[in-house]
Amino acid sequence: MIYPPGFDPAKKYPTLLYCQGGPQSPLTQFYSFRWNFQLMASQGYIVVAPGRRGMPGYGTKWNEQVSKDWGGQVIKDYLSAIDAVSKEPFVDKNRRGCIGASFGGFSVFALAGVHNKRFKTFISHDGVFDFRSMYGTTDEMWFENFEKGGAYWEKGNAVAQRSFSQSPSNFVDKWDTPIMIVQGGRDYRVPIEQGQQAFQAAQLKGIKSRFVFLPDENHWVLSAQNAQVWQHEFYRWLDETLK
């Protein structure tokens, strides 16, 4: 947990659940043009960054538990984490948000369908929304085959069938919370249709939503100018929906 400067436990703070990418990526206090925990905290937010399944540092079995089960235990880990910290009196349960990119962006889309009113707002950057179209467009097929356990048309492959059943697009009927979606135009890892589909779904359901398109960015934010745009839109959305 990262606390705002001058943190006062007698006060209540808006709280952000940060969902890490990867899915097997370490959680560190790194700096990037997108995610900067200290910058988020400096704006008055508590940041919760759980060491969920799939993160290195807890043994091989823990690290492997995310593969072929993206919508399973890892999503339960995130819900358990926000529930645990929400017991603290300084966490404002009426002002909780959920943010993430890549696998973290997928996690945001997945949590949007199962969070049961926990969150007031979501932000997803380059997240996987629909497993079938992702399988047909990504540049990293070896990864998709390993993580999903096979192709969606393999009806006799129980592992693959379970994986594809966990696609966030299958749970849009449960979406009811404002969401901002960011997408890079040159992202070939998680191609543009993933963000477009999620945004269109939110729009068609009448959910407050925003699509931020960075045409010359790939799976990350690499230019300083785009970083300024990203940070401006990130905090503007939170100001509109959480504070």
Q: What is the pLDDT of residue 243?
A: 77
Question: Which residues is 16 bridged to in the sheet?
Answer: 47, 97
Q: What is the CA radius of gyration of the chain?
A: 17
Mean pLDDT score across all residues of the chain: 95
What are 38-88's pLDDT values in tens digits?
A: 999 999 999 999 999 989 888 999 989 999 999 999 999 999 999 999 999
Going from N- to C-terminal start, the domains of the chain cover 13-241
The pLDDT of 131-160, averaged and rounded, is 96
Q: What is the pLDDT of residue 209?
A: 98
The pLDDT of 98-115, averaged and rounded, is 97
Q: What is the pLDDT of residue 35?
A: 85
Catalytic residue among 69, 124, 209, 219, which? 219
Q: Taking a C-beta distance cutoff of 8 angstroms, is the pair 194, 129 a contact?
A: yes
Report the candidate in 101, 112, 99, 100 with the shortest Cα–Cα distance to residue 71: 112
Residue 34 has pLDDT above 90, yes or no: no
CATH number of the structural domain 13-241: 3.40.50.1820
Measured at the alpha carbon of residue 114, what is the angle toward residues 204 and 112, in degrees to the nearest 5?
45
Angular region, 140: left φ>0, alpha ψ -120 to 50, beta rest = beta
Q: Is 219 marked active-site?
A: yes
Q: What is the pLDDT of residue 96?
A: 98
Question: Which residues is 125 bridged to in the sheet?
Answer: 101, 182
The pLDDT of 118-139, averaged and rounded, is 97
What are 80-89's pLDDT values in tens digits?
A: 999 999 999 9
Segment among 20-24, 30-34, 54-58 with least mean pLDDT: 30-34
Report the candidate in 224, 207, 213, 222 with the shortest Cα–Cα distance to residue 181: 213
Q: What is the pLDDT of residue 111?
A: 98
Q: What is the pLDDT of residue 24?
A: 86
pLDDT band at 213 (very low <50, low <70, confident <90, very high): very high
Q: What is the pLDDT of residue 26?
A: 82
Q: What is the pLDDT of residue 32?
A: 75
Q: Is 102 marked active-site?
A: yes
pLDDT band at 159 (very low <50, low <70, confident <90, very high): very high
The pLDDT of 207-220, averaged and rounded, is 96
Q: What is the pLDDT of residue 51?
A: 92
Catalytic residue among 69, 77, 102, 126, which? 102
Catalytic residue among 107, 169, 187, 209, which? 187
Return the axis-axis angle of helices 103-112 and 73-85, rounded to nearest 10°. 70
Q: Is 187 marked active-site?
A: yes
Residue 31 has pLDDT above 80, yes or no: no
